[in-house]
C-alpha cells in the first residue's frame, strides 16, 4: 500500500511504526453547521481507516474539537449564549451528521477546553528549551502572551515548502503584539475582558489554535504518529506549526510519518466554507440524496483533487447508488455483507472469497478494487470496479448463473467504502404492496390470464418498478 506524503510530495510505501496505526485527523470548530466540505474530509479519512482495517491493520483514530476560538466567542456573543453551550450544540450536530453519513466514530474526541493542563505542560517545555518566550503584557493588560520562536527551528516551512525569509518579508506585527519576529505564532493568548480564560503560569488566558493538536496527539497517540490528516487549507500555518512545536518539544523527528491532505469542495470557483456562507449542510444533503449518494459523490473524485459541488453530480451519484442496490436486490444469490473468514496479516490483501464453481468469478474485479486502493487511496478506480462488478452480476443473473459469491463480494467491497446499499425508507414502505401485486400477477398467470398478468407488469413498469422472473420466483427492483 502506498500513500502520497505531503511532506515529501512523493508516493511512499506505507510502513507503520508499530502494531497499531496511529492516526490523528483535525476536527471541526463547532460554531456552525457541518457542510459537504467537511463531509469530504471525514468520508476520505473514514475510508482510509476502513481500508487499513480491511487490510488487517489495527487503527487508533483520534479527532479533536476546537471548542474555544475567536469565531465561537463572536457567535456566542451575538446569540447571547455561553460559548460552551454554543460549542456543545454544534458538537451534537456533528455527531448526528456523521452517524447519518455512516462515519465510524473515532476512538477519542478530545476537546481543547478539556486539555488545558496538557497544553500548559507543552508550552512550559518549549520555554525551557528556548523555543518559546513570554511577551510583555499589552498596555492595559495584566496577562502575557506566549509565542513560538520560528527562527529556532531551522527547517521551519518544510511541510508547506515556504522560505522563512520570504514569509518574514511579507508579514507584519499587529499593534500591541510583543513578537520578536513577525512570523512567531501564539501558543498562549493573554485574557481579554469578557472572554473565557484559564489560569496559567503567565496569567489568565487561553491556548492558541496550533498548540491544541500537538498536545492532544502527544497525550493520546505518543511522540510520533503514523498518519496526520486534514484539509489542504491546514497545511499552512496549522500543520506547519504543529510540526515545529511538537518536534522541538520531543526532540523526535519526524513527528508524523505520513501527512495526508484532501482537496477542497468548490462551489463554482470558490471553496465551500462557513465564512463565505456558500455551503450546503450535511443534513440537508443526506435528506435530499441519501448518505450513500453523498459518499459516492465524494469517492468518485480522488481525495487530492478538487471536488466541484453541483446538484446534477449528486443526482448522478444517487442514480449510481440505485444501480449498485439493484445488483444486490432479490434474485438468486442475494447475500448479506460478508468478509474473509480470517483476517489477513497486516499489509496483505485478504484472501479471495470462495465462488461457486458454476457461478460468476468476482476475483478479477476484487483485485482491481484493491489495486486502486493500494495506490494512494484511488477511490475512483475502486468505485469503477464496483460498477463493473454490478454490471457483471446483472448480466450473469440474466443468464441464470449463480451470483451468490459475486454479490457477497460486492457487499464486502461496498462496505470498505462505507456504502450500506440499504433500501431507502420509501422503498421499504412500498415493498409489501409491490409483493402483493406480484402475487396477484402470479395467480393470473396460473389461471392463464396472461393479458391481465402483463397489464400488472406494464403498470408497475410505468411506476419505475421492473419485474424479473427467475427460477426462484419473481423479484422486483427500481429502475436506475
Confidence band (pLDDT; 50, 70, 90) for 343? very low
Q: What CATH number is associated with residue 51?
A: 3.40.50.620
Confidence band (pLDDT; 50, 70, 90) for 357? very low
Share of the chain above pLDDT 70, in %: 88
Confidence band (pLDDT; 50, 70, 90) for 478? low
Task: Identify the domain boundary among 266, 282, 298.
Answer: 282
Does residue 12 fall inside a structural domain? yes
So what's the pLDDT on residue 338?
35
Same domain, 442 and 401: no
Does residue 453 fall inside a structural domain? yes
Taking CA atoms, 285 is separated from 155, 316, 323, in Å, by: 42, 14, 20
Mean pLDDT, residues 47-56: 98
86-114 pLDDT, tens digit per residue, is: 999 999 999 999 999 999 999 999 999 99
So what's the pLDDT on residue 352?
52
Mean pLDDT, residues 60-81: 97
Q: Is the pLDDT of residue 331 over 50?
A: no
Taking CA atoms, 148 is separated from 77, 97, 178, 201, in Å, by: 30, 36, 12, 16
Does residue 316 fall inside a structural domain? no
Does residue 292 fall inside a structural domain? no
Among 116-120, 277-281, 282-286, 352-356, the range scoring the smallest mean pLDDT is 352-356
Does residue 443 fall inside a structural domain? yes
Does residue 93 fall inside a structural domain? yes
Q: How many CB atoms lie within 10 A of CB 416?
A: 21
Same domain, 246 and 336: no
**Residues of the domain holding 121:** 2-282
So what's the pLDDT on residue 358?
55
Same domain, 90 and 203: yes
Does residue 394 fall inside a structural domain? yes
Q: What CATH number is associated with residue 388?
A: 1.20.120
Same domain, 363 and 447: no
So what's the pLDDT on residue 173?
63
Strand arrangement, sheet containing 20-25: 58-63, 20-25, 225-231, 256-262
| CA gap 62, 82 in Å, rounded | 27
Same domain, 86 and 205: yes
* Average pLDDT over the chain, rounded to an integer: 89
Same domain, 19 and 109: yes
Same domain, 444 and 405: no
* Number of compact structural domains in the chain: 3
Mean pLDDT, residues 183-187: 96
Same domain, 386 and 432: no
Does residue 211 fall inside a structural domain? yes
363-388 pLDDT, tens digit per residue, is: 999 999 999 999 999 999 999 999 99
Same domain, 119 and 26: yes
Confidence band (pLDDT; 50, 70, 90) for 29? very high
What pTM was estimated for this model as a whole?
0.84
Same domain, 468 and 363: no
Q: How many CB atoms lie within 10 A of CB 166?
A: 10
Same domain, 111 and 225: yes
Mean pLDDT, residues 50-63: 98
Task: Identify the domain boundary among 265, 282, 299.
Answer: 282
Same domain, 272 and 402: no
Which position has the higher pLDDT, 159 or 339? 159
| CA gap 468, 106 in Å, rounded | 42
Amino acid at each position: 500500500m502506498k500513500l502520497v506524503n505531503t511532506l515529501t510530495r512523493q508516493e511512499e510505501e506505507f510502513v507503520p511504526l508499530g502494531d497499531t496505526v496511529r492516526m490523528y485527523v483535525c476536527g471541526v470548530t463547532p460554531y456552525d453547521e457541518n457542510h459537504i466540505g467537511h463531509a469530504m474530509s471525514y468520508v476520505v479519512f473514514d475510508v482510509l481507516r476502513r481500508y487499513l482495517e480491511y487490510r488487517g491493520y489495527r487503527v487508533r483514530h483520534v479527532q479533536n474539537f476546537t471548542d474555544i476560538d475567536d469565531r465561537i466567542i463572536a457567535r456566542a456573543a451575538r446569540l447571547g449564549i455561553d460559548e460552551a453551550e454554543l460549542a456543545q450544540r454544534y458538537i451534537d450536530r456533528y455527531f448526528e451528521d456523521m452517524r447519518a453519513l455512516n462515519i465510524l466514530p473515532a476512538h477519542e474526541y478530545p476537546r481543547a477546553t478539556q486539555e488545558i493542563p496538557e497544553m500548559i505542560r507543552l508550552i512550559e517545555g518549549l520555554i525551557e528549551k528556548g523555543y518559546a518566550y513570554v511577551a510583555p503584557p499589552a498596555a492595559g493588560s495584566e496577562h502575557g502572551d506566549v509565542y513560538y520562536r520560528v527562527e529556532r527551528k531551522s527547517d521551519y516551512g518544510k511541510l508547506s515548502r515556504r522560505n522563512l525569509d520570504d514569509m518574514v518579508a511579507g508579514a507584519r506585527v499587529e499593534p500591541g503584539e510583543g513578537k520578536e519576529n513577525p512570523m512567531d505564532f501564539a501558543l498562549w493568548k493573554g485574557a481579554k475582558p469578557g472572554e473565557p480564560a484559564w489560569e496559567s503560569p503567565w496569567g489568565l488566558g487561553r491556548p492558541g489554535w496550533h498548540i491544541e493538536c500537538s498536545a492532544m496527539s502527544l497525550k493520546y497517540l505518543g511522540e510520533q504518529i503514523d498518519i496526520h490528516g486534514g484539509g489542504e487549507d491546514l497545511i499552512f500555518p496549522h500543520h506547519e506549526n504543529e510540526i515545529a512545536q511538537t518536534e522541538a518539544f520531543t526532540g523526535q523527528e519526524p513527528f508524523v510519518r505520513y501527512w495526508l491532505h484532501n482537496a477542497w469542495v468548490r462551489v463554482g470557483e470558490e471553496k465551500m466554507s462557513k465564512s463565505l456562507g456558500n455551503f450546503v449542510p450535511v443534513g440537508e444533503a443526506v435528506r435530499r440524496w441519501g448518505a450513500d449518494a453523498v459518499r459516492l459523490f465524494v469517492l468518485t473524485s480522488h481525495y487530492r483533487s478538487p471536488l466541484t459541488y453541483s446538484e446534477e453530480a449528486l443526482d448522478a451519484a444517487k442514480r449510481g447508488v440505485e444501480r449498485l442496490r439493484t445488483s444486490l436486490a432479490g434474485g438468486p444469490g442475494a447475500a448479506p455483507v460478508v468478509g474473509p473468514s480470517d483476517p489477513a496479516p497486516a499489509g496483505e490483501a485478504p484472501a479471495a472469497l470462495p465462488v461457486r464453481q458454476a457461478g460468476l468469478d468476482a476475483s478479477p474485479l476484487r483485485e482491481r478494487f484493491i489495486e486502486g486502493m493500494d495506490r494512494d487511496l484511488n477511490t475512483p478506480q475502486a468505485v469503477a470496479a464496483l460498477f463493473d462488478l454490478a454490471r457483471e452480476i446483472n448480466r450473469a443473473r440474466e443468464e441464470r448463473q449463480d451470483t451468490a459469491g459475486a454479490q457477497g463480494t460486492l457487499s464486502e467491497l461496498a462496505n470498505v467504502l462505507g456504502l450500506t446499499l440499504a433500501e431507502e425508507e420509501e422503498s421499504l414502505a412500498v415493498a409489501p404492496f409491490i409483493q402483493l401485486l406480484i402475487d396477484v400477477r402470479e395467480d393470473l398467470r396460473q389461471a392463464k390470464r396472461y393479458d391481465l398478468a402483463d397489464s400488472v407488469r406494464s403498470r408497475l413498469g410505468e411506476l419505475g418498478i421492473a419485474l424479473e422472473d427467475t427460477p426462484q420466483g419473481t423479484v422486483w427492483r427500481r429502475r436506475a
